[in-house]
Amino acid sequence: MTQCSSPDQIKACRTFALERNRQMFEEAQLLSRCAFELLEGGDLDVELFERYRTMRRKADQKFQEAIEHLRLLNEDFPPIPVCANHSQRLRESLEL
User: Domain for residue 47, yes or no?
Assistant: yes
Residue 1 falls inside a structural domain = no
pLDDT of residue 2: 47
What's the pTM value of the predicted model, to 2 decimals? 0.71
Residue 81 belongs to a domain: yes
Q: What is the pLDDT of residues 52-80, one digit of tens each?
A: 999 999 999 999 999 999 999 988 887 66
Judged against a pLDDT cut of 60, whether residue 11 lies above it is answered with: yes
Q: Which of 68, 78, 39 is nearest to 56 (CA)?
A: 39
| pLDDT score recorded for residue 83 | 57
Q: Which domain holds residue 72?
A: 7-95
% pLDDT > 90, the chain: 52
Overall number of domains in the chain: 1
Work out the pLDDT band at 7, boundaries 50, 70, 90. confident
Residue 92's SS3 state is helix
Q: Is residue 65 part of a domain?
A: yes
**All residues at 6 or more sequence positions from 66 whose CB lies less than 8 Å from its CB, including other chains:** 21, 24, 25, 28
- Answer whether residue 88 is part of any domain: yes
Task: Answer yes or no: is 39 within a domain.
Answer: yes
